[in-house]
Amino acid sequence: MAEAALRRMSLEEFLRWEDGTDTRYQLVEGMPQAMPPPAPGHGILAARLGGMIDVALRSRRPCAVVSEAGITRADRDDTCYIADLAVTCEPYRRGEQLLREPLLIIEILWPSTEAFDRKVKSPAYRQIASVGEILLLDSESCYGELLRRQGEDWLTELVLGQDAVLSFSSVPLKVAMSELYEGIELGAL
């Protein structure tokens, strides 16, 4: 049965919880946080990039790209972020709701979530030992920030404009930004 009101809960409770609607949630410091449906450009970018990554990983199974991936923080038992895409090389286990050992995490930014993705989720993702790259990809302009772990440091590569190429080290993939953003109406940078 659905619960009528949102209340503070543990990660374990959150993973069993159903509110009876199609609303997507992530758990932030014990509170379920509703996530609005993504805009069409956001969805196109996620589907297109996810498909490209899946093809690139075909020879590296069990590595796979996961959409709407549940990512937890090791330092909290009351938080579960939902990443737009993430890559893991851990074998799939039926019934698991959380992604183990992500290598690459991708957040597609849009106005209502950008600040939270940048200021809260991205720093938390950097604390996950297995994560080597984080991509913050703008859904409204041809722009991305690829954060790459270098030992204890994180370097940021800006991928800007239609002529730029997005090149991952965690996945054998190079993508022309013009191909990624093809057919998506963009604003000016």
pLDDT at 123: 95
pLDDT at 178 over 70: yes
Is residue 139 in a domain? yes
Range of the domain at 149: 37-180
Is residue 105 in a domain? yes
Please state, as a whole number, how many other Cβ atoms lie within 10 Å of the Cβ of residue 100: 13
The more confident residue out of 159 and 24 is 159
Is-contact 144 166, C-beta < 8 A?
Answer: yes
Is residue 73 in a domain? yes
How far is it, in rounded angstroms, from Cα 148 to Cα 159? 13
Is residue 141 in a domain? yes
Query: Global pTM?
Result: 0.88
pLDDT at 13: 86
pLDDT at 118 over 70: yes
Q: Work out the pLDDT band at 14, boundaries 50, 70, 90.
A: confident
Please state, as a whole number, how many other Cβ atoms lie within 10 Å of the Cβ of residue 2: 8
Q: Work out the pLDDT band at 20, boundaries 50, 70, 90.
A: confident
What's the number of domains the chain is made of? 1
